[in-house]
Structure 1
Amino acid sequence: MSILSTAIALADTSELAHTATVMVGRCGSTGLVPASYRGVIAAAVTLGMTGPPRAVAWCNDIEFVNALVDLETELSIRLREANAMIRTLWGRLEEIPATEENADLIATICAALEILTPAASRIEYAMGRLMAAPNELGETYAAAYNLVRSGRRLPRNGRWITGDAPSQPA
Protein backbone atom coordinates (compact mmCIF):
# COMPACT_ATOMS: atom_id res chain seq x y z
CA MET A 1 0.00 0.00 0.00
CA SER A 2 1.35 3.42 -0.91
CA ILE A 3 2.04 6.17 1.60
CA LEU A 4 -0.94 8.19 0.41
CA SER A 5 -3.40 5.29 0.34
CA THR A 6 -2.32 4.25 3.85
CA ALA A 7 -2.86 7.80 5.09
CA ILE A 8 -6.29 7.93 3.46
CA ALA A 9 -7.25 4.58 5.01
CA LEU A 10 -6.14 5.70 8.49
CA ALA A 11 -8.02 8.99 8.14
CA ASP A 12 -11.24 7.29 7.00
CA THR A 13 -13.48 7.24 10.06
CA SER A 14 -16.69 6.23 8.27
CA GLU A 15 -16.95 2.82 10.00
CA LEU A 16 -16.24 4.41 13.37
CA ALA A 17 -18.83 7.10 12.60
CA HIS A 18 -21.37 4.41 11.78
CA THR A 19 -20.69 2.65 15.08
CA ALA A 20 -21.05 5.92 17.01
CA THR A 21 -24.20 6.81 15.06
CA VAL A 22 -25.80 3.49 16.00
CA MET A 23 -24.85 4.17 19.62
CA VAL A 24 -26.58 7.57 19.45
CA GLY A 25 -29.66 5.89 18.00
CA ARG A 26 -29.67 3.26 20.72
CA CYS A 27 -29.42 5.97 23.39
CA GLY A 28 -32.39 7.76 21.85
CA SER A 29 -34.40 4.54 21.59
CA THR A 30 -33.64 3.80 25.22
CA GLY A 31 -35.20 7.14 26.16
CA LEU A 32 -32.06 8.68 27.63
CA VAL A 33 -32.04 12.45 27.75
CA PRO A 34 -29.52 13.84 25.24
CA ALA A 35 -27.48 15.50 28.02
CA SER A 36 -26.63 12.03 29.34
CA TYR A 37 -24.99 10.96 26.08
CA ARG A 38 -23.83 14.24 24.59
CA GLY A 39 -20.26 12.89 24.48
CA VAL A 40 -21.41 10.09 22.19
CA ILE A 41 -23.27 12.62 20.02
CA ALA A 42 -20.15 14.80 19.79
CA ALA A 43 -17.97 11.79 18.92
CA ALA A 44 -20.41 10.65 16.22
CA VAL A 45 -20.59 14.10 14.65
CA THR A 46 -16.81 14.53 14.84
CA LEU A 47 -16.23 11.18 13.15
CA GLY A 48 -18.73 11.98 10.39
CA MET A 49 -22.23 10.97 11.50
CA THR A 50 -24.69 11.11 8.64
CA GLY A 51 -28.43 10.70 8.69
CA PRO A 52 -30.81 10.26 11.58
CA PRO A 53 -29.64 7.54 13.95
CA ARG A 54 -32.08 4.68 14.49
CA ALA A 55 -31.39 1.55 16.47
CA VAL A 56 -32.75 -0.74 19.17
CA ALA A 57 -32.63 0.35 22.80
CA TRP A 58 -29.85 -0.60 25.19
CA CYS A 59 -30.80 -3.49 27.48
CA ASN A 60 -29.00 -1.84 30.41
CA ASP A 61 -26.34 0.72 31.24
CA ILE A 62 -23.62 -1.97 31.34
CA GLU A 63 -24.25 -2.76 27.67
CA PHE A 64 -23.96 0.95 26.89
CA VAL A 65 -20.69 1.35 28.81
CA ASN A 66 -19.24 -1.79 27.18
CA ALA A 67 -20.03 -0.37 23.74
CA LEU A 68 -18.33 2.88 24.77
CA VAL A 69 -15.21 0.98 25.83
CA ASP A 70 -15.18 -0.99 22.57
CA LEU A 71 -15.42 2.14 20.43
CA GLU A 72 -12.87 3.95 22.57
CA THR A 73 -10.48 1.01 22.06
CA GLU A 74 -10.96 1.14 18.29
CA LEU A 75 -10.32 4.89 18.32
CA SER A 76 -7.23 4.43 20.48
CA ILE A 77 -5.78 1.89 18.05
CA ARG A 78 -6.52 4.15 15.08
CA LEU A 79 -4.98 7.16 16.84
CA ARG A 80 -1.86 5.19 17.75
CA GLU A 81 -1.46 4.04 14.12
CA ALA A 82 -2.03 7.54 12.73
CA ASN A 83 0.44 9.12 15.16
CA ALA A 84 3.04 6.44 14.39
CA MET A 85 2.71 7.12 10.69
CA ILE A 86 2.93 10.88 11.27
CA ARG A 87 6.18 10.42 13.25
CA THR A 88 7.58 8.11 10.56
CA LEU A 89 6.70 10.53 7.77
CA TRP A 90 8.25 13.49 9.58
CA GLY A 91 11.38 11.41 10.12
CA ARG A 92 11.55 10.50 6.44
CA LEU A 93 10.91 14.08 5.44
CA GLU A 94 13.88 15.24 7.51
CA GLU A 95 16.15 12.54 6.05
CA ILE A 96 15.31 13.01 2.35
CA PRO A 97 17.48 15.54 0.55
CA ALA A 98 15.42 18.29 -1.08
CA THR A 99 16.45 17.50 -4.64
CA GLU A 100 14.46 17.49 -7.84
CA GLU A 101 14.49 13.70 -8.00
CA ASN A 102 12.89 13.54 -4.51
CA ALA A 103 10.26 16.18 -5.28
CA ASP A 104 7.47 13.63 -5.91
CA LEU A 105 8.25 11.67 -2.73
CA ILE A 106 8.39 14.85 -0.65
CA ALA A 107 5.07 16.01 -2.14
CA THR A 108 3.51 12.61 -1.36
CA ILE A 109 4.75 12.72 2.23
CA CYS A 110 3.45 16.28 2.67
CA ALA A 111 0.06 15.29 1.22
CA ALA A 112 -0.12 12.31 3.58
CA LEU A 113 0.72 14.56 6.54
CA GLU A 114 -2.00 17.02 5.46
CA ILE A 115 -4.49 14.14 5.57
CA LEU A 116 -3.28 12.47 8.76
CA THR A 117 -2.70 15.46 11.03
CA PRO A 118 -6.32 16.72 11.14
CA ALA A 119 -7.60 13.13 11.19
CA ALA A 120 -5.52 12.36 14.28
CA SER A 121 -6.87 15.49 15.97
CA ARG A 122 -10.44 14.50 15.09
CA ILE A 123 -9.96 10.98 16.43
CA GLU A 124 -8.34 12.26 19.61
CA TYR A 125 -11.21 14.70 20.22
CA ALA A 126 -13.82 11.98 19.60
CA MET A 127 -12.00 9.71 22.03
CA GLY A 128 -12.01 12.39 24.71
CA ARG A 129 -15.73 12.95 24.28
CA LEU A 130 -16.42 9.22 24.54
CA MET A 131 -14.33 8.99 27.70
CA ALA A 132 -16.62 11.60 29.29
CA ALA A 133 -19.81 9.71 28.41
CA PRO A 134 -20.01 7.39 31.47
CA ASN A 135 -19.66 10.38 33.79
CA GLU A 136 -22.30 12.33 31.84
CA LEU A 137 -24.66 9.36 32.15
CA GLY A 138 -23.95 9.02 35.86
CA GLU A 139 -24.34 12.74 36.55
CA THR A 140 -27.63 12.93 34.68
CA TYR A 141 -29.15 9.90 36.38
CA ALA A 142 -27.37 10.14 39.76
CA ALA A 143 -30.60 10.59 41.70
CA ALA A 144 -32.19 7.55 40.06
CA TYR A 145 -29.06 5.42 40.65
CA ASN A 146 -28.98 6.48 44.30
CA LEU A 147 -32.65 5.59 44.68
CA VAL A 148 -32.12 2.12 43.21
CA ARG A 149 -28.90 1.52 45.20
CA SER A 150 -30.80 2.30 48.41
CA GLY A 151 -33.14 -0.60 47.65
CA ARG A 152 -36.06 1.45 46.35
CA ARG A 153 -37.69 1.13 42.94
CA LEU A 154 -38.31 3.56 40.11
CA PRO A 155 -41.88 3.91 38.88
CA ARG A 156 -42.76 1.67 35.93
CA ASN A 157 -43.26 3.81 32.82
CA GLY A 158 -43.93 6.72 35.15
CA ARG A 159 -43.30 10.39 34.68
CA TRP A 160 -42.53 11.06 38.33
CA ILE A 161 -40.39 14.10 37.60
CA THR A 162 -42.88 15.94 35.36
CA GLY A 163 -46.04 14.55 36.91
CA ASP A 164 -47.39 13.47 33.52
CA ALA A 165 -49.39 10.26 33.36
CA PRO A 166 -47.53 7.18 32.14
CA SER A 167 -47.71 6.54 28.41
CA GLN A 168 -50.05 3.77 27.32
CA PRO A 169 -48.59 0.90 25.25
CA ALA A 170 -49.83 0.73 21.67
Structure 2
Amino acid sequence: MSTAVSLADTSEIAGTAAAMIGRCQATGIVVASYRGLIAAAVTLGMQPALRGRAWPTDTTFVTALVDLECDLFSRLTQVNAMIDRLVGDIEWLESQYTGTPETEIYLRRSAVLRAALDVLIPAQTRLNYALGRVMAVPEELGETYAAACAHVRSGRQLPFNGRWITGRTAG
Protein backbone atom coordinates (compact mmCIF):
# COMPACT_ATOMS: atom_id res chain seq x y z
CA MET A 1 0.00 0.00 0.00
CA SER A 2 2.82 2.41 0.80
CA THR A 3 4.29 1.94 -2.68
CA ALA A 4 0.91 2.71 -4.24
CA VAL A 5 0.56 5.87 -2.15
CA SER A 6 4.09 6.92 -3.08
CA LEU A 7 3.48 6.38 -6.81
CA ALA A 8 0.16 8.23 -6.63
CA ASP A 9 1.81 11.27 -5.03
CA THR A 10 2.33 13.64 -7.94
CA SER A 11 3.14 16.72 -5.88
CA GLU A 12 6.80 16.88 -6.94
CA ILE A 13 5.97 16.66 -10.65
CA ALA A 14 3.13 19.15 -10.15
CA GLY A 15 5.53 21.52 -8.40
CA THR A 16 7.90 21.33 -11.36
CA ALA A 17 5.07 22.13 -13.79
CA ALA A 18 3.88 25.00 -11.59
CA ALA A 19 7.37 26.48 -11.41
CA MET A 20 7.71 26.20 -15.19
CA ILE A 21 4.51 28.22 -15.55
CA GLY A 22 5.95 31.01 -13.41
CA ARG A 23 9.04 31.02 -15.61
CA CYS A 24 6.89 31.19 -18.75
CA GLN A 25 5.07 34.19 -17.30
CA ALA A 26 8.35 35.91 -16.40
CA THR A 27 9.64 35.28 -19.92
CA GLY A 28 6.53 36.88 -21.41
CA ILE A 29 5.25 33.86 -23.28
CA VAL A 30 1.57 34.24 -24.15
CA VAL A 31 -0.55 32.22 -21.70
CA ALA A 32 -2.48 30.47 -24.46
CA SER A 33 0.84 29.03 -25.63
CA TYR A 34 1.40 26.98 -22.48
CA ARG A 35 -2.13 26.28 -21.29
CA GLY A 36 -1.39 22.55 -21.44
CA LEU A 37 1.28 23.09 -18.81
CA ILE A 38 -1.27 24.89 -16.65
CA ALA A 39 -3.77 22.04 -17.07
CA ALA A 40 -1.09 19.50 -16.14
CA ALA A 41 -0.10 21.35 -12.96
CA VAL A 42 -3.69 21.76 -11.81
CA THR A 43 -4.59 18.15 -12.68
CA LEU A 44 -1.64 16.92 -10.63
CA GLY A 45 -2.71 19.02 -7.66
CA MET A 46 -0.75 22.27 -7.82
CA GLN A 47 -1.77 25.83 -8.58
CA PRO A 48 0.46 27.55 -11.16
CA ALA A 49 3.25 29.73 -9.79
CA LEU A 50 2.59 33.39 -10.39
CA ARG A 51 6.23 34.41 -10.40
CA GLY A 52 9.44 32.89 -11.53
CA ARG A 53 12.77 33.50 -13.14
CA ALA A 54 12.62 34.02 -16.91
CA TRP A 55 13.84 31.21 -19.13
CA PRO A 56 17.37 32.21 -20.16
CA THR A 57 17.16 30.47 -23.56
CA ASP A 58 14.72 28.57 -25.73
CA THR A 59 16.92 25.51 -25.26
CA THR A 60 16.50 25.64 -21.49
CA PHE A 61 12.74 25.85 -21.79
CA VAL A 62 12.41 23.07 -24.37
CA THR A 63 14.74 20.81 -22.39
CA ALA A 64 12.72 21.38 -19.20
CA LEU A 65 9.51 20.67 -21.09
CA VAL A 66 10.87 17.40 -22.48
CA ASP A 67 12.21 16.45 -19.03
CA LEU A 68 8.77 17.02 -17.52
CA GLU A 69 7.22 14.88 -20.25
CA CYS A 70 9.75 12.12 -19.51
CA ASP A 71 9.04 12.32 -15.77
CA LEU A 72 5.31 12.01 -16.39
CA PHE A 73 5.80 9.10 -18.79
CA SER A 74 8.10 7.31 -16.35
CA ARG A 75 5.67 7.70 -13.46
CA LEU A 76 2.74 6.60 -15.61
CA THR A 77 4.72 3.53 -16.70
CA GLN A 78 5.41 2.66 -13.05
CA VAL A 79 1.76 3.13 -12.10
CA ASN A 80 0.57 1.02 -15.04
CA ALA A 81 3.02 -1.77 -14.17
CA MET A 82 1.88 -1.79 -10.54
CA ILE A 83 -1.78 -1.85 -11.53
CA ASP A 84 -1.12 -4.81 -13.82
CA ARG A 85 0.70 -6.66 -11.02
CA LEU A 86 -2.05 -5.92 -8.52
CA VAL A 87 -4.80 -7.10 -10.86
CA GLY A 88 -2.93 -10.34 -11.46
CA ASP A 89 -2.31 -10.85 -7.74
CA ILE A 90 -5.96 -10.16 -6.91
CA GLU A 91 -7.12 -12.67 -9.50
CA TRP A 92 -4.76 -15.31 -8.11
CA LEU A 93 -5.73 -14.66 -4.47
CA GLU A 94 -9.42 -14.81 -5.25
CA SER A 95 -8.96 -18.03 -7.20
CA GLN A 96 -7.46 -19.59 -4.07
CA TYR A 97 -10.48 -18.79 -1.90
CA THR A 98 -12.65 -21.85 -1.41
CA GLY A 99 -15.13 -20.50 1.11
CA THR A 100 -13.47 -22.18 4.04
CA PRO A 101 -12.12 -20.36 7.10
CA GLU A 102 -8.61 -21.50 6.18
CA THR A 103 -8.76 -19.55 2.92
CA GLU A 104 -10.23 -16.33 4.36
CA ILE A 105 -6.73 -14.84 4.39
CA TYR A 106 -6.80 -14.75 0.59
CA LEU A 107 -9.84 -12.49 0.66
CA ARG A 108 -8.25 -10.19 3.26
CA ARG A 109 -5.09 -9.88 1.19
CA SER A 110 -7.18 -9.25 -1.90
CA ALA A 111 -9.00 -6.43 -0.10
CA VAL A 112 -5.69 -4.73 0.72
CA LEU A 113 -4.62 -4.95 -2.91
CA ARG A 114 -7.97 -3.55 -4.03
CA ALA A 115 -7.42 -0.59 -1.70
CA ALA A 116 -4.08 0.00 -3.40
CA LEU A 117 -5.86 -0.07 -6.77
CA ASP A 118 -8.31 2.52 -5.46
CA VAL A 119 -5.31 4.81 -4.91
CA LEU A 120 -3.55 4.05 -8.19
CA ILE A 121 -6.40 4.21 -10.69
CA PRO A 122 -7.20 7.91 -10.09
CA ALA A 123 -3.46 8.65 -10.24
CA GLN A 124 -3.28 6.80 -13.56
CA THR A 125 -6.09 8.97 -14.92
CA ARG A 126 -4.42 12.19 -13.70
CA LEU A 127 -1.04 11.19 -15.12
CA ASN A 128 -2.52 10.18 -18.48
CA TYR A 129 -4.30 13.50 -18.81
CA ALA A 130 -1.32 15.56 -17.62
CA LEU A 131 1.02 13.77 -20.01
CA GLY A 132 -1.31 14.44 -22.92
CA ARG A 133 -1.55 18.11 -22.01
CA VAL A 134 2.24 18.51 -21.66
CA MET A 135 2.74 16.76 -24.99
CA ALA A 136 0.41 19.35 -26.56
CA VAL A 137 2.46 22.34 -25.36
CA PRO A 138 4.93 22.39 -28.28
CA GLU A 139 2.08 22.66 -30.75
CA GLU A 140 0.45 25.33 -28.60
CA LEU A 141 3.72 27.24 -28.71
CA GLY A 142 3.91 26.99 -32.46
CA GLU A 143 5.84 25.20 -35.13
CA THR A 144 9.25 26.29 -33.86
CA TYR A 145 8.82 24.69 -30.46
CA ALA A 146 7.01 21.66 -31.85
CA ALA A 147 9.96 20.96 -34.13
CA ALA A 148 12.48 21.58 -31.34
CA CYS A 149 10.70 19.21 -28.96
CA ALA A 150 10.44 16.51 -31.63
CA HIS A 151 14.16 16.97 -32.26
CA VAL A 152 15.03 16.54 -28.55
CA ARG A 153 12.61 13.60 -28.11
CA SER A 154 14.41 11.76 -30.90
CA GLY A 155 17.60 11.85 -28.81
CA ARG A 156 19.31 14.78 -30.49
CA GLN A 157 20.36 18.09 -28.95
CA LEU A 158 19.40 21.65 -29.75
CA PRO A 159 22.04 24.05 -31.06
CA PHE A 160 24.04 25.95 -28.45
CA ASN A 161 22.80 29.53 -27.94
CA GLY A 162 20.19 29.18 -30.67
CA ARG A 163 22.67 28.91 -33.54
CA TRP A 164 20.15 27.75 -36.11
CA ILE A 165 20.90 27.41 -39.77
CA THR A 166 19.17 30.46 -41.25
CA GLY A 167 19.97 30.10 -44.92
CA ARG A 168 21.92 33.36 -44.91
CA THR A 169 25.49 33.30 -46.03
CA ALA A 170 28.19 34.51 -43.69
CA GLY A 171 29.30 37.99 -44.55
Q: TM-score range by the shorter chain?
A: 0.7 to 0.9
Unmatched runs of 5 consecutive residues or more in structure 2: 98-102, 146-165
Aligned to 1:54: 51
Task: Give the total of aligned pairs.
Answer: 142
Contact kept, 8 Å, 1:35 with 1:140, in 2: the verdict is no
CA-CA distance at 1:139 after TM superposition: 5.8
- Of the candidates 68, 92, 95, which is equivalent to residue 95 of structure 1? 92
Work out whether 1:72 is the aligned partner of 2:76. Answer: no
Residue of structure 2 equivalent to 1:119: 123
- Match of 2:135? 131
Contact in 2 for aligned 1:37/1:137 (Cα 8 Å) = yes
**TM-score in terms of structure 2 length:** 0.76
Report the AA paired with residue 55 of structure 2: W
- The within-5 A match list for 1:10-49 is 10-49=7-46
Change (3 A) 1:31 1:150: farther
Amino acid at match of 2:41: A
Please, which runs of 5 or more residues in structure 1 have no aligned partner? 142-148, 152-170
Identity %: 55
Selected match of 2:4 from 7, 19, 27: 7
Letter in 2 for 1:113: L
Find the residue that maps to 2:142 and give its secondary structure: helix
Equivalent-residue separation in structure 2 for 1:16 and 1:43 (angstroms) = 9
Report the secondary structure of 1:58's partner residue.
coil
Q: Offset at 1:104?
A: 2.2
**Residues 28 and 34 in structure 1, CA contact (< 8 A), matched pair in contact too:** yes
In structure 2, relative to structure 1, the CA distance for the partners of 1:51 and 1:59 (3 Å cut) is: closer
Structure 1 stretches of at least 4 aligned residues deviating more than 4 Å after TM superposition: none
Counting only pairs closer than 5 Å after superposition, residues 143-154 of structure 1 correspond to structure 2 as none
**1:51-109: CA deviations, max 9, x gaps?**
64321011122211111100111111101110000000000011112342223211111
